[in-house]
Amino acid sequence: MKDHPATVVVIGAANIDIFARPNTSHTMYDSNPGHVHIAHGGVGRNIVENLARLDMKPLFLTALAGDMDGVAIRQCLEDLGATVCAITHAHSNRYVAMLDQRGELLLAVADMAGLEVMDADFLHQHRSALTQASSLVLDANLPDVTWSWLIEHVATPIYADAISVAKADRLKPYRQNIHTLKVNRFEASVLSGEHPDAPPEMHIAALLGFGITEVFLTLGEHGAMHGSSQGIRHMPSFIKQTNIVNATGAGDAFMSGVIYANQHKKDSLTYGLAMSSISLRSRDAVSPALNVKRLEDTVKEDL
């Protein structure tokens, strides 16, 4: 498919998420009674599902295996109104997360090797859609060849999610090409050059200094900050720690809220935090209860 009327194009990972959560405080180096939950995931895929549930009909460019998991991932997104165009690779990516009893992430292992097959030829097939979109959303799982081709051939504003400390380093050569960046404090440190314990304002100022137009720095239970040429501001979290079910999709939801808000000329920091709040209350990375009404109600309740 070479042409697509999508306003937002997302390029990123799709995988199977495996979440393990103990019933009580965990004991290291031992078997812990608890619950294991399997769901569709991947930063790019999660953002696509969020946007599809908000009636935005995104286009998703990714790598999928032809196995049962890959077919199911595609079908789920298409049923929600997204368009999926995928290059084929050998087996579905996996993300295994160990949570604590509160649902906060302790440790995760990500097997995302499948994205390495995404090459310039695949992107060229979708050049028309990429150039016509108003927003291009990329996650840091993408190989350098993808970033290099997009920067050379596409002028669409780039929204980038750093994903993790390990993956954030991949974004360093492209900081000046990013329009909107979402990071947490540790990812920000990798890209800003500031110490992780430096005030968030220092991270944001440094990142803006590289030419990034908008920076969103998430602070967990302390909410998030937004920086641009208009200044830096903070907003507290919309949810109490005791109400958290699963925190692994909160960052993806936040980025989705920012994209939704910018497309609809609403306050991006508010909608990012509202989306995170909805995700944190769900055992899945993307809440199956998400829709436009739920999002707008959450914004009204917490303002």
Q: What is the pLDDT of residues 156-193, one digit of tens each?
A: 999 999 999 999 999 999 999 999 999 999 999 999 99
- Mean pLDDT score, 96-103: 91
The answer to whether 76 and 285 are in contact (CB under 8 A) is no
- What count of other Cβ atoms lies within 10 Å of the Cβ of residue 183? 27
pTM of the model: 0.91
Q: What is the pLDDT of residue 1?
A: 44
Q: Residue 245's pLDDT band (boundaries 50, 70, 90)?
A: confident
- Reported as a single tens digit per residue, the pLDDT across 105-118 is 899 998 877 788 88
Q: What is the pLDDT of residue 180?
A: 99
Percent of the chain surpassing pLDDT 90? 81
Q: Residue 255's pLDDT band (boundaries 50, 70, 90)?
A: very high
- Tell me how far apart the alpha carbons of residues 279 and 289 are, in angstroms, rounded to a whole number: 9
The answer, yes or no, to whether residue 240 has pLDDT greater than 90, is no
- Tell me how far apart the alpha carbons of residues 170 and 148 are, in angstroms, rounded to a whole number: 12
Q: Where are the domains of the chain?
A: 8-302
Q: Residue 5's pLDDT band (boundaries 50, 70, 90)?
A: low
Max Cα-Cα span within the chain: 53
The answer, yes or no, to whether residue 17 has pLDDT greater than 50, is yes
The answer, yes or no, to whether residue 284 has pLDDT greater than 90, is no
Q: What is the CA radius of gyration of the chain?
A: 18
In CATH terms, the fold of domain 8-302 is UDP-N-acetylmuramoyl-L-alanine:D-glutamate ligase (3.40.1190)
- What count of other Cβ atoms lies within 10 Å of the Cβ of residue 189? 20
- Tell me how far apart the alpha carbons of residues 269 and 149 are, in angstroms, rounded to a whole number: 30
**Average pLDDT for the chain:** 93
| 121-137 b/e (C-beta count within 10 Å ≥ 16 → b) | ebbeebeebbeebebbb
Q: Residue 2's pLDDT band (boundaries 50, 70, 90)?
A: very low
- Mean pLDDT score, 95-109: 90
Q: What is the pLDDT of residue 260?
A: 98
66, two tokens: 């032809």
Q: What is the pLDDT of residue 248?
A: 82
- Tell me how far apart the alpha carbons of residues 9 and 130 are, in angstroms, rounded to a whole number: 7
